[in-house]
Amino acid sequence: MTSIVPSSPTSWLRTRVNCWQSTAGDCFCLLVIGMLSMASYEFRLGFYSDDWAMLASMSLSQSQSFVDVFRELYYVHDHEIRPMQFLEIAVLYKLFGLGSIGYHLLNAVILIMDVVLLYLLARALAQPRVLALSISVVFMLVPNYSTDRFWIASAAANLSMGLSLLALHAHLQALRRTQSGFWRWETVAVLGALGSGFCYEVFLPLLIVATIFLLALEVKNHYSRSNAVRIFGKAALHQVAIVCAVALILVVKALWASRVPQNIELIGLGFYTGRQILKAGAINYGYHFLLLPSTTWHVLCHYAQPTIMVTSGIIGFAVWARLYTLPNPFTAAAAKLRAAMSVYFAAGMVLFVAGYSLFPITPVENGPNNRAAIAGTIGFAVSVVGGLGLLTSLARPIWRKAILSTGVALISAGGTLILGVVGDFWTESFRIEKEILSNIQDHVPVVPVGTSLILDGVCPYHGPAPVFNATWDLSGALSLIYGHNGIEANIVTPWMTVEENGLAVPTGAGSVIYPFGDLFVYHVGHETSYALPDGQAAQAYFSDISTDRMARCPAHIDGNGVDVLNGIMQTLREFFRSPNIAPTAEGDN
C-alpha cells in the first residue's frame, strides 16, 4: 500500500502553483484588455483645464528643482489638502516636462494596476474567479468615470484607488497574522490609507465600509456566545488603526482645506448629498447601464471609427471566452444562487452609495465632472455582476455561466466603444487647443504683464471634452507661451456682460471682472485683436463684431459638456428644459 504522506507536500505545492498560474493568467488577461481599450487614443491625449495652470506654475518656478516645483504647485493650487496629488504631478513634470505622452502612459499603467489589485482583492476574499474577473472587467471598461483616463489633473483618483487597495491588501495580511507580524502589515495599511486620503478623498468611505465588513466577518468566524463581548472587542481593535487614519484625514481637511465651507449645515449637507446620490444612481444605472444599448447604437451610427469598432469586438469576444472557460461556480440550487447573488447586489449598492457620499460633486454622464465617480463605480460593477448573477439563477445550470459571460462581454464591448469615442473627443480637443494657442502666438507677439486677454470665436467644449472654459486654463497656457504669470485670460461666452468697470464672467464662486484698460479681445476667426479701453468700446465690439456669440456653440451643461453620445438623453433634456432658464455658468467644475 502506498503512503499518501510523501505525496501530500507535492500535492499541496501543485495546488499552489496551479492557483498562482490561474491568477497570473487572469491578471495578464486584464493587462492586455486594458492596453487594447486605450490604444486608440492614448498617444494623442494632451493637457486640459487645470493641467495648464499647474504646468505654468511648475514651468515658471524659480529654480526648477523638484522641491521648488512641488512647493510652487502645492501652495498655489492645493485647496483640498492633497499633497499626494501634487507630489505625483511634480514627479511627472520632472520626468516628462511639457510632453503629454509620458503623463498619460503612466496614468494608464496606474489605472490598469488598480484593476489588477481589485481582482486580487476579490480573490483574497475567496471569491470565485469568474466573479472576481467579471467585476474587474466591468469596472475597467464602463465609461462611468471616463475623465480619469484622459485628464492629468484627475489622475489623482487613479493613484488614490491604488493606494486604498494596497491598504486593504496589507490590512488583510495583518488580520491573518494577529499573533505575529500584525503591526508590521497594519503600518503599511495605515500608510496606504493616509496616502489615498491625502491624494483624493473619494475612497475614504469605501475603506470604512471595508472595515465594517471585515469586522463582521471576523466576529462571524470566531463567534462564541460565552465570549461574544470579548470577540467583538478584539475584532474591533483590529479595525481601529484604519478607522483612525480615515478620521485623521477628515479632521485635517475639515479644519484646514480652504475649499471646505467653514459653517457647514449638516442637515442641509445630508439632503444635498442624498440628492446627488440619487442623481448618480439615475446616471449610472439608467444612462450607463439600461441605456447602454441605445448609447452604443448612437455611437455606431454617428461617431465610431473602424479601428474602435474592431477593438471593441475583439475585447468583447476575449472577455466572453475567458469567462466561459473558467471553472463554473453556478452549479448550486437556484435558491442558494439567488441568495449569494443578492448579497453581491446589496454589497454593490452599499459601496456605490459610499463612493458618492463624501465628494458629492454634481454627477454627470461623460464630461469632466464624472472624475469623482471612480469610487462609486466599484459598487456599480459589483451590483451589476450581482444582478447578472440573479438573472442566471432563473436559467438551467448548464446555461448560467454562458449568460453571465455574455452579459459581461456585451457591457465590455459597448463600454470600450464608448470610451474610444469619448477619447477621440478629448484628443481632438487638445488639437483645437494647440491650434488656438498657435494662432494667438502668431498674431500677438507680446502680451505684457498685467494684461487681460479675452478669447473670442471659440467654444468651451468639444463634445464632452473641455477646450478652454475656466478662469485658469487659458491663463496658464498663455503664461507658458509668453514666459510669465502676469496674464489673466478667459473666453467670450453668452453669459459675459459689460459692466461699468470691465467685462464680467459668471463662475460658481461669483463673477470675475476683467477691468478695462489693459484689456483686449482676440478673435480667432478674424485673427485680430481689439483693445477695450472702456465700456463704450466693449459695447461696440459686441454689437458690431462678436454678433454670433449667443448661437455660436452647441448647448452644453457645465461639467458635462455637449451631450453627443445619446440622442435619448438629449431629447429628454430639450423636452424638459424651460426656454426661460439660462444655461449654467462656467467655472464650477
Helix (H, G, I), strand (E, B) or coil at 54: helix
Burial of 79-97, coded b for 16+ CB within 10 Å and e otherwise, reads ebbbebbbbbbbebbeeee
pLDDT digits (tens, 9 = 90+) for 89-144: 999 999 999 999 999 999 999 999 999 999 999 999 999 999 999 999 999 999 99
Residue 168 pLDDT greater than 80, yes or no: yes
Q: Are 359 and 201 in contact (CB under 8 A)?
A: yes
| Residue 237, C-beta contacts closer than 8 angstroms, at least 6 positions apart | none
Start-to-end Cα distance in the chain: 75
d(CA 483, CA 472): 16
Weakest mean pLDDT among 165-169, 250-254, 378-382: 250-254
477 phi/psi in degrees, rounded to 5: -65, -40
Residue 583 has a pLDDT of 40
d(CA 126, CA 128): 7
Q: Are 161 and 175 in contact (CB under 8 A)?
A: no
Residue-averaged pLDDT of the chain: 90
DSSP 8-class letter at 265 = -
Residue 585 has a pLDDT of 38
pLDDT digits (tens, 9 = 90+) for 435-471: 999 999 999 999 999 999 999 999 999 999 999 988 8
d(CA 156, CA 139): 17
pLDDT digits (tens, 9 = 90+) for 533-586: 999 999 999 999 998 888 889 988 888 999 898 755 565 666 555 443 334 433
d(CA 15, CA 12): 5
d(CA 422, CA 428): 10
**What mean pLDDT do residues 188-202 have?**
96
Q: Are 586 and 469 in contact (CB under 8 A)?
A: yes
d(CA 190, CA 197): 11
> Which is more confidently placed, 363 or 114?
114
Alpha helices of 257-333 — where are they, by DSSP H? Answer: 266-281, 292-302, 306-324
Residue 84 has a pLDDT of 96
Residue 361 has a pLDDT of 76
Helix (H, G, I), strand (E, B) or coil at 227: helix
**What mean pLDDT do residues 41-62 have?**
95
70 phi/psi in degrees, rounded to 5: -65, -40
Residue 577 has a pLDDT of 54
Residue 579 has a pLDDT of 40
The label of the residue with cell 462678436 reads 546
Weakest mean pLDDT among 29-38, 99-108, 357-366, 431-440: 357-366
Comparing CA positions, the residue from 505, 511, 501, 496 lying closest to residue 533 is 501
d(CA 144, CA 364): 9
Residue 511 pLDDT greater than 50, yes or no: yes
> Which is more confidently placed, 34 or 181?
34
d(CA 59, CA 56): 5
Burial of 196-235, coded b for 16+ CB within 10 Å and e otherwise, reads bbbbbbbbbbbbbbbbeebbeebeeeeeeeeeeeebbeeb
Helix (H, G, I), strand (E, B) or coil at 544: helix
Alpha helices of 60-99 — where are they, by DSSP H? Answer: 66-77, 83-96
3-state helix, strand, coil in the chain (%, to 5): 65, 5, 30
Q: Which helix H or strand E contains 524, and what residues bound it?
A: none
pLDDT category at 411 given cuts 50, 70, 90 is very high
Residue 1 pLDDT greater than 80, yes or no: no
Weakest mean pLDDT among 37-46, 85-94, 172-181: 172-181
**What mean pLDDT do residues 379-392 have?**
96
Reported as half-sphere exposure (CB side, CA atoms, 13 A), residue 159 has a value of 24
Q: Grid coordinates in use for 514?
A: 476683467
Comparing CA positions, the residue from 494, 501, 492, 490 lying closest to residue 451 is 490
Give the chain's length: 589
Residue 508 pLDDT greater than 90, yes or no: no
Q: Which helix H or strand E contains 413, and what residues bound it?
A: helix 397-443
Q: Grid coordinates in use for 204?
A: 475614504
Strands 510-515 and 502-507: antiparallel
Residue 574 has a pLDDT of 61
**What mean pLDDT do residues 339-353 have?**
96
Helix (H, G, I), strand (E, B) or coil at 49: coil
DSSP 8-class letter at 289 = I
Residue 476 has a pLDDT of 96
pLDDT category at 2 given cuts 50, 70, 90 is very low
| Residue 383, C-beta contacts closer than 8 angstroms, at least 6 positions apart | 344, 345, 347, 348, 349, 351, 352
Residue 262 has a pLDDT of 72
pTM (global) more than 0.85 = yes
Cβ burial, residue 332 (10 Å; 0-12/13-18/19+)? middle
Percent of the chain scored above 90 by pLDDT? 74
d(CA 75, CA 69): 10
Helix (H, G, I), strand (E, B) or coil at 503: strand
Residue 61 pLDDT greater than 70, yes or no: yes
Q: Are 126 and 373 in contact (CB under 8 A)?
A: no
Q: Which helix H or strand E contains 143, and what residues bound it?
A: none
**What mean pLDDT do residues 266-284 have?**
90
Residue 570 has a pLDDT of 60
Domain locations along the chain: 22-425, 444-576
Alpha helices of 444-533 — where are they, by DSSP H? Answer: 473-482
The label of the residue with cell 503664461 reads 479
